[in-house]
Chains A and B, each alone.
Chain A
Amino acid sequence: MTAPLLEVENLRTRFHTPDGVVRAVDGISFTVREGEIVGLVGESGAGKSVAGASLLRLVEDPGRIVGGEVTFKGETLVGFPDGRAEAGDGSGDDADDRWRDDVLSAEAIRRRIRGREIAIIFQDPMESLNPVFTVGGQLREFIELNRGLTQGRARELAVDMLREVGIPEAEDRYDDYPHEFSGGMRQRVLIAMALACEPSLVIADEPTTALDVTVEGQILELVADLQAKYDTSFLWITHDMGVVAEICDRVNVMYLGEIVEQADVDDLFYDTSHPYTEALLDSIPRPDRPVDELDPIAGIMPEAIEPPDGCRFHTRCPDARAVCTEINPDCRPLDDAGRPHRAACLKHESVFGAGYRESDPIENEAAGGFDVGRTEEGTDD
C-alpha cells in the first residue's frame, strides 16, 4: 500500500457568528493516497466545502481552523503547538504565529503548494475565472507563473491543455472571454488550469453539480482519462451518490461536521455500516430501476451551531437508542472487515461496547410517521 499523500488528523474548523459558534468541521480524519479518488460526500451544510478549504488554509472569515493536523508529502500545512490548539483571538488563519514551527507559512503555501502541488476546482467556474480577461490569457498566465515558463512556451502549453480537455478549436477559442463559453466548457477550462502544473492532488468541490447530466458525463470521463494518464489524486466533494459510485475509490460520508463512515466504495454501498449512509442510499430515487416508495430520512438537519448531544444523527436515526443520546461515537475501524472500514455508530457493539444492545429505543423524528419534516416546537402564536 502506498504511503498517504495527504493525511488529515482530527481537523476542526469553526465559524464565530453572531448566533453562536458553528462547528462546521468537527474533528475529521482521513487520508488520500497516490493515484486515488477519495470522495467526501454528504448533504448541504455537512461541512464538505469548509473541510476542503481548510486543507489549504483557505477558510474565510469568520472561519478559523482551531485544531488538528494536515500533512502533505511530509510537509505540515496545519499544525498547532502542544496545548495551543484552541488558542484563538481575532487574528485569521494567515497569522503564521498561530502555527507550530514546522508548519508552512501562508506565503510558502501560496508559492509552493497551491496550484502546483494541490489544485482546487470550485463548483462555480465563474467564481474562479476573471470575466475581464480571455480564457487563454488566464490559463497562460497561470502556467507562466507556476511553472516558470516563457510567455511563448506557456501559450503553447495552454493551447495544448485546452485541446486536451476537449475544447473544440482550442486555438481559436483561446482569445474568447469566459462568458463566451458554456458552463461545461468553463469547467473544462478550470480542469485544464488545475492540471496544468501536474499537481499531485486536486481538491474538486462539486465540480459537476451545476452541469447537465450529459455534460457531467463528459467531465467525469475526462477526469478519469486524465487521472489515468497523470496518476493525479483527487479529493472529490459531492452530494451525489451516483457520482461517488461512478468515480471514487474510497469514500468519507459526512454528517454535521463529522465523518460517520469511511470505506472502499464497494463496501460503502454493499456493506453499509452507518444508519445515516443507509438512510441516504434509501432516500434516493434510482435512475436504473423503479422504486415504489422512497424512504426519506426523517426530520431536518439540525443546526450546526448546537448539534445534538451524543451521536449527532440520533434525532433522525431509525436505530437510535437511549445510549445514543449520551455518547458521541468516534469513527472506529470495524474489526470484521477485510478492508479498512470505519463507522461512527454504537450499533457496532463489539467495537464500541457502549451497551447499545441493552439500551431502550427512543422516540425521535424517525419514529414520527407521516408528518416527517415537521419541526418539533409548534407553539409560537
Chain B
Amino acid sequence: MAEYQTHEHDVLVIGAGGAGLRAAIEASAAGVSVGLICKSLLGKAHTVMAEGGVAAALANVDERDGWQVHFADTMRGGQYVNNWRMAELHAKEAPGGVHELEAWGALFDRTSDGRILQRHFGGHKYPRLAHVGDRTGLEMIRTLQDHAIHRGITVYMEHTILTLLEDGERVVGAFGYDSERGFFHLFHARAVVLTTGGIGRAYKITSNSWEYTGDGQALAYHAGAELVDMEFVQFHPTGMVWPPSVCGILVTEGVRGEGGVLRNKEGRRFMFDDIPELYRQQTADSEEEGWRYTQGDRDARRPPELLTRDHVARCIVREIKAGRGSPHGGVYLDISWIKGKLPSAAERIKKKLPSMYHQFKQLADIDITAEPMEVGPTTHYMMGGVRVDAESQMSTTPGLFAAGECAAGLHGANRLGGNSLSDLLVFGKRAGAYAARFATAHGFGQVRTDQVETAARRALAAFDGDGRPGGAESPYRVQHDLQELMQNRVGIVRREDEMVHARDGIARLRERATRVRVEGNRQYNAGWHTALVLDNLLTVSEAITCAALERRESRGAHFREDHPGKDASAGAFNLVVRKGPDDEMQVRRQPIPEMRPDLKRIVEEMK
C-alpha cells in the first residue's frame, strides 16, 4: 500500500502561472475552497519571463482600435483555424482583464494623458500591448500572486502532479509528490483546472524552463480528454544563439517593436524580400515607412520585421541555410542603428528594453545600444493543447477544465505576441468561474484506490525497476535524445519521411524510458523528477508528430517542405488527438463550425 497524505478542495488548480492564479482567484471569489499547485516556488512560473506585453484593444493610443480589430488580427494570425468563439471572447474581455490587474496594483507605462500606454507588436494592426518596459510578465504574475495570497487559497509550492484521478468519465482529483521530501499526495476535488503551460522542453533549443514538459496536455490525454492543434508549435524568430549556454533564451519582439531590424551578413534587410499576400497591404514599402511606423506615425504601415512569428522565423532559417547568416548560425538583430535617427537613442533603448540590455551585457558581453545582436529561432509556445469549450473552458472530460498555454483554440495556427498574457487573464478567469460552478453542482466523486496504487508504483519504478528488466538508462540522456530528435525532425521545416523517422524514434525512446534508473533517495532528487516527466514529454512529442504528419499542407507555424502551399480544404478542420480504446494514439479531423455571420463580416471588412 502506498503512503500518501490526502487534501480536499472544491476546486484544484494545477499550475500557478498567470492562468492558474487568475483561475484560483476567480474560483475563490465564488466562495469555494481552492487548492493551487505548482512545481516551482510561487511567482517563478513562465509568466514571470514574459517581456513584451499584454494585448488588449484599450484604444488608448489609437482610437481606431476595438475588439473587432483585435478579433480579426487574432484570426488572421491564426490562419482561420482558431476557435472563433474563443477569439471573440478574448478580444472583448481582454481590456477588462487588464483593468482588473490595475485595480489589484499592477503599474503599466502611461500615455501623456495618464492612461495605460500601448506598444506595437507583430500582427497587431494598432499599438495594443499594455506593458511595463520589458518586464510585463513579472508585473503581471506578482500582481496576481500578491492578490491571491490574501484570498484564503491553499498553495502547494514545489508539488508535482503525476496523474489525474477518474471516477467513470469524470475527473475527481489528482495524485502527485512534493519535491522537498518526495512524499506522495492525493488531492481530492470536485473540479480540476489544468494551467500547466507549455511543452518547450520537448525541443533542444527553447526559451522554456525545465517545468514545461507538457504535463497538462499529457495528464488530460491520459484522463481521456481530447487534445487539438498539436501540430502548431511556435518557434519564436529571435532567441539568443551565442554563447552556447544561453542558446534559446528569448529576445523579445519588443526590440523590433521599438525599431530593431533584421539583417543578414551582407547587411541586407532580408525581411523585405518575401512578404506574404495576406499581409501585403499592411506592410511598409520602404525602410523609411517602416521606421515611421515604429515611431508612431499612424499613416505608416508596419515594417516586415513585425510580420507574424512563423513567417519571420522561416525567413531567418532561409537566410541561414543560404549561407547568409551570422558567424554563430543566426542573423543580426540591430536596434543600435536608431542612433542615426534619434539623438538620445542609447538612453531610449535602456529605458524601453532594460532587461534585454542587461541580458546581452551580462550573458554575451554585447552592448545592444552600440552593436547588433545575433539571433535565431527558438521553440517558444504551444498553440495546441487541451480541447475546451469556449465559454466554460471545460475539456471533453467532465470536471476537467484547462486554460492558458496548456489549453488550445484561441491562437489557431499561430499566436500573436501579447495574446498569451491576455489569454491567461480572460480564460483563466472563465475557467475559475466555471470550475467553481461545476464544483457547486457536483459532489466529491469516488477515488479508485487501484489507480492511486498504480500511480505510486509507477512513480517509484525508476528506483526499484518494478519488476522490469534492468539496464542503466539515464533520464537526462533519454530526455536529451528526445529533444534532439524533435528539434531535427519535427522542427520549423517538416517533411513526411523525417517525421515518420521521428515517430519510430519516439517509440524506441519510450522503450528506453522503461529502463531508466535513478540514484539517491526521494528527497529533492532532480534525476528522479526528470525520469517522471519522460512519459509526458514522449506523449506530447508523439501527439505533435502524429498531427504534423496528418496536416498535409503549410499553415501558420506548421510548415511542410513537401506540401509548401496552403490547402483551403485543410483550413476547414482541426486535428484532434485522443487516446484510443487500446491505448493507441488516434488522430481525427474535426470540422470547424461555420463562423457566425457578424464575425465573418468583421473578418471580411478587415482583410
Is B truly associated with A?
no
The residues of B with any CB-CB pair to A shorter than 8 Å are none
The residues of A with any CB-CB pair to B shorter than 8 Å are none
